[in-house]
């Protein structure tokens, strides 16, 4: 009986240690921001005043919006498989996790096992942390394909264009793109300017760029 109890306790301790190791920031992960963030600002709406027709204006606006949508902070949570991505190069998530129900992971390794309400050292955090729906996979797609996808109510959760605009401008998980741990690059601009560009694109007819 004592031997069985000892084995059970040992397994429990090993499980706890394994979970702690999985959630701990990697020892070789950088703790400082990247040396170069490139062009960190989004173009102001005034830059698009020269466009005289809505189609050209919408195309140009969505090209700028694409700098955020195709940024690793967004694409990593919109993978084409059931594995989330991480880092600037879109590496497969470590430890290995999969989508699970509602994008929240599988029992034993839910997203919230490691991702808390806030960033913790090198581990991103948000109260709503999860993968985007599989229907909204952006990884490997052109900006035109993504544009058509997010407009499609069959694939965007049934959101109208105005509801989609509110989501982009106000959703707290979208806001993570500008508030990652310090070692990760932020998306260009901020959520307010991104939301303004998105609403301007909708007002211009929500035309998708070709290609």
- For the chain, the 3-state helix, strand and coil shares in percent, each to the nearest 5, are 45, 5, 50
Q: What is the pLDDT along the chain (211 residues), one digit of tens a residue?
A: 444 443 334 333 333 334 444 565 543 344 444 434 445 899 999 999 999 999 999 999 999 999 999 999 999 999 999 999 999 999 999 999 999 998 989 998 999 999 999 999 999 999 889 999 999 999 999 999 999 999 999 999 999 999 999 999 999 999 999 999 999 999 999 999 999 999 999 999 999 998 7
- Residue 168's φ and ψ, nearest 5 degrees, are -65, -35
Contact 194, 44 (CB under 8 A): no
pLDDT for the residue 108: 87
Q: Which residue has the tokens 């260009």?
A: 188
* SS3 state of residue 53: coil
Query: CA–CA distance from 91 to each of 77, 106, 175, 179 (Å)?
Result: 12, 20, 22, 20
* Cα torsion through 178, 179, 181, 182, rounded to 10: 70
Contact 130, 103 (CB under 8 A): yes
Query: Rounded to whole angstroms, how far apart are CA atoms 162 and 152?
Result: 13
Q: Which residues pair with 38 in a beta bridge?
A: none
pLDDT for the residue 30: 43
Tokens read off for 169: 């401008």
What is the DSSP track for 112-161? HHH--SS-BTTB---TT--PPPGGG--TT--HHHHHHHHH-TTTTTS--H
* SS3 state of residue 29: coil
Query: Rounded to whole angstroms, how far apart are CA atoms 20 and 15?
Result: 9
Query: Rounded to whole angstroms, how far apart are CA atoms 132 and 84?
Result: 9
Structure letter (DSSP) for residue 188 = S
Cis status, amide bond into 129, omega within 30 of 0:
no
Report field, pTM of the whole predicted structure over 0.85: no
pLDDT for the residue 28: 39
pLDDT for the residue 40: 86
pLDDT for the residue 88: 96
């Amino acid at each position: 009986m004592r031997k069985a109890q000892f084995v059970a306790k040992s397994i429990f301790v090993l499980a706890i240690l394994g979970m702690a190791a999985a959630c701990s920031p990697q020892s070789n992960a950088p703790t400082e921001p990247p040396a170069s963030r490139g062009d960190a600002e989004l173009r102001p709406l005034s830059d698009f005043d020269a466009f005289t027709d809505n189609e050209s204006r919408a195309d140009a606006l969505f090209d700028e919006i694409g700098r955020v949508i195709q940024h690793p902070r967004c694409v990593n949570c919109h993978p084409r498989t059931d594995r989330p991505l991480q880092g600037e190069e879109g590496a497969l998530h470590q430890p290995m996790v999969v989508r699970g129900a509602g994008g929240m992971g599988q029992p034993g390794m839910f997203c919230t096992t490691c991702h808390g309400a806030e960033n913790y050292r090198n581990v991103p955090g948000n109260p709503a942390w999860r993968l985007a729906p599989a229907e909204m996979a952006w990884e490997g797609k052109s900006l035109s394909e993504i544009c058509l996808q997010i407009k499609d109510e069959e694939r965007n959760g049934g959101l109208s264009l105005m509801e989609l605009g509110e989501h982009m401008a106000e959703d707290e998980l979208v806001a993570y793109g500008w508030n990652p741990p310090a070692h990760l690059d932020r998306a260009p601009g901020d959520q307010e300017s991104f939301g303004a560009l998105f609403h301007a694109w909708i007002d211009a007819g929500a035309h998708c760029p070709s290609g």
